[in-house]
Amino acid sequence: MASILKVDELRGIASAGSITVTSEGGAATQSLQQGLAKAWVSFNATPSVGDSLNITSLTDSASGRPAANYISAMANDDYASAGMCGQGQTTNPSAVNFDGSYGMQSTASIAVVTSEGSDSKRDYALTTILVHGDLA
Amino acid sequence: MPSVLNVDTIADKAGTGPVGLTKQAAAKHFAHWDSGATIQSSLNASSAVDNAVGEFTIATTNNMADALYVYLAGNGSDSTIVGSFTEAPTRGTKTTSGGRLGILVHSGSLTDNDEIFSVFHGDLA
């Protein structure tokens, strides 16, 4: 019979923010905290949040230049991010890039450029962003 | 009153296998590197290699269980190269120890970018 531990919060003993878990294959161990996504968000062209984790608001700087603001800050601006955007009827390829001219990634927010095949910036019906790294 | 469990390592009942996190899964790798292939931050990444203009290979420290894992990637620029895409990893075979990716502008040309990111989800070996 499977054992189930019911608990509201997990903390490390040596370091409150570090718990090690065993890999699926049993060949390695890895930090549980580092593997968890620290923020994710989906939003529309308004932009209005559809669903999110650790996102307090969106900033609409200009067409195709949304930014997502964190509730809890990241530890630094070196974290890893990925994103996608799309519009049901467009035939042009769409891209999410990380926007240096608007500060790109900071501990407080992430700014992106969403653009289509002509290199023109535009807002999309759906944009998603995923953030992995360390929280402050 | 909330219950708090203080523990350093979590394993299954036998002590050697993984535990299930209810309806959640952790990423098994992430990395952020620059155009010189210098890693800025990472989890389970051993190296980033600059293969050619706009082409990089990211390698893991601990292998994935198979090559069927999800490979997400992104890129960005301090000078804002609008419309660059990350092909992940169509520039080479995705293996249990990582994969090669390409960064392309809308015209299809490969280009380096200032910041490149990767995230893997799946099972570790």
Q: Do B75 and A37 touch (CB under 8 A)?
A: no
What are the domain boundaries of chain A? Answer: 37-132
Query: What does the pLDDT look like over B78-97, one tens digit per residue?
Result: 766 667 777 777 666 789 99
Inform me whether the pLDDT recorded for B16 exceeds 90.
no
Quote the pLDDT of residue B91. 64
Is A25 within 8 Å of chain B by CB?
Answer: yes
Q: Do B5 and A9 touch (CB under 8 A)?
A: yes
d(Cα A34, Cα A28) in Å, to the nearest integer? 15
Cβ neighbours of A14 in B, within 8 Å = 8
Is A35 within 8 Å of chain B by CB?
Answer: yes
> In this complex, which of B78, B85, B119 lies closest to A100 when CB atoms are compared?
B78
In angstroms, the separation between the Cα of residue B93 and the nearest Cα of chain A is: 20
Contact A21, B123 (CB under 8 A): no
In angstroms, the separation between the Cα of residue B95 and the nearest Cα of chain A is: 16
Quote the pLDDT of residue B11. 86
Q: Do B119 and A82 touch (CB under 8 A)?
A: yes
The overall average pLDDT reported for chain B is: 87
Q: Do A25 and B123 touch (CB under 8 A)?
A: yes
Count of CB atoms within 10 A of residue B69's CB?
18
pTM of the model: 0.88
What burial class does residue B102 get, using C-beta atoms within 10 Å of its C-beta: 0-12 exposed, 13-18 middle, 19+ buried? buried
Quote the pLDDT of residue B14. 86
> In this complex, which of A10, A22, A101 lies closest to B18 when CB atoms are compared?
A22
* pLDDT per residue as tens, chain A (136 positions): 788 888 899 999 999 999 999 999 989 999 999 999 999 999 999 999 999 999 999 999 899 999 999 999 999 999 999 988 887 765 667 788 776 555 578 999 999 888 887 778 889 888 999 999 999 9
Per cent of chain B over pLDDT 90 is 43
Which residue in chain A has the smallest CA separation from B106? Answer: A117
Quote the pLDDT of residue B76. 85
Q: Do B83 and A117 touch (CB under 8 A)?
A: yes
Query: What is the average per-residue pLDDT within B91-115?
Result: 85
Quote the pLDDT of residue A69. 97
Gyration radius (Cα) of chain A, Å:
18
Helices of type H across A11-130? 32-35
Quote the pLDDT of residue A100. 59
> In this complex, which of A27, A81, A121 lies closest to B125 when CB atoms are compared?
A27
Contacts 24+ apart (CB under 8 A), A2-8: A2/B13, A3/B13, A5/B5, A6/B3, A7/B3, A7/B4, A7/B5, A8/B2, A8/B3, A8/B4
Contact B115, B77 (CB under 8 A): yes
E strands, chain A, are 9-11, 20-22, 29-31, 39-43, 49-53, 55-60, 66-70, 80-86, 95-99, 109-115, 126-132
In angstroms, the separation between the Cα of residue A121 and the nearest Cα of chain B is: 8
